[in-house]
């Protein structure tokens, strides 16, 4: 019998001063049986950092990611179904990044949020291979910070996230974590 996903509910208040975005979002997240709470929280962070101001151009949605190899962890499609933004969490391979970059096409973006102590080992040989992907941005969350972020995970979460000058603070009523993502590759497009 297959293991089922564990459902997490998150109410997140976003104050992103860098983008001028102030919003509240209620999310339902499925923790895949092979996924850690650390990865779940990095997915939640990726949502908060990329959610558009409004849904007029298409909503940012949780996709099937781990459950479906043809989908990312999150994506934004416009109202015609055209892919605008493909977002992955973890350490995808070169083929997957090239595929995502092609699917996003002209004007579309691909963002990767990597974390954990193995991220530099993954990135070192991959960087020259994906340098030509103009619409690809890769962010690394330092291992100690992603582990602290994971400690905020709960089946029912009330979180506040603040972004100012590239620095991120996220917390609940009891705990607060400061995050300093490192840009490994910035999108040129």
- Please report, for the domain that includes residue 115, its CATH number: 3.10.640.10
Q: Is the pLDDT of residue 87 over 70?
A: yes
pLDDT per position as a tens digit, 96-122? 999 988 887 777 899 999 999 999 999
pLDDT per position as a tens digit, 7-40? 999 999 999 999 999 999 999 999 998 899 999 9
In a domain, 181, yes or no: yes
pTM: 0.93
- Contact yes or no for 40/157 (Cβ under 8 A): no
Q: Domain range for residue 142?
A: 6-185
**pLDDT average, residue stretch 130-159:** 96
In a domain, 111, yes or no: yes
- The whole-angstrom separation of Cα 94 and Cα 100 is 10
- Residue 142 is predicted with a pLDDT of 96
- Residue 160 is predicted with a pLDDT of 98
In sequence order, the β-bridge partners of residue 11 are 26, 158
Portion of the chain with pLDDT greater than 90, in percent: 76
- Residue 66 is predicted with a pLDDT of 61
How many structural domains does the chain have?
1
pLDDT per position as a tens digit, 35-83? 999 999 999 999 999 999 888 778 899 887 666 677 899 999 988 888 8
Phi-psi map region of 25: left, alpha, beta (phi>0 left; psi -120 to 50 alpha): beta
Lowest average pLDDT, out of 56-60, 138-142, 146-150, 171-175, goes to: 56-60
In a domain, 1, yes or no: no
């Amino acid at each position: 019998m297959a293991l089922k996903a564990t459902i997490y509910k998150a109410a997140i208040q976003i104050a992103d001063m860098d983008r001028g975005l102030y919003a509240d979002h209620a999310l339902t997240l499925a923790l895949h049986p092979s996924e850690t709470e650390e990865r779940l929280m990095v997915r939640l962070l990726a949502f908060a950092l990329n959610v558009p101001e409004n849904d007029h151009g298409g909503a940012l949605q949780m996709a099937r990611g781990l459950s479906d190899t043809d989908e990312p962890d999150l994506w934004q499609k416009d109202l015609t179904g055209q892919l605008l933004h493909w977002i992955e969490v973890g350490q995808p391979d070169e083929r997957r990044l090239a595929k995502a970059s092609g699917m996003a096409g002209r004007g579309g973006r691909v963002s990767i949020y990597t974390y954990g102590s193995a991220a530099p080992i993954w990135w070192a040989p991959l960087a020259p291979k994906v340098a030509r992907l103009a619409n690809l941005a890769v962010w690394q969350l330092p291992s100690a910070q992603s582990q602290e972020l994971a400690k905020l995970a709960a089946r029912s979460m009330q979180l506040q996230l603040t972004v100012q000058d590239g620095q991120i603070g996220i917390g609940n009523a009891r705990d607060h974590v400061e995050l300093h993502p490192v840009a490994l590759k910035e999108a040129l497009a």
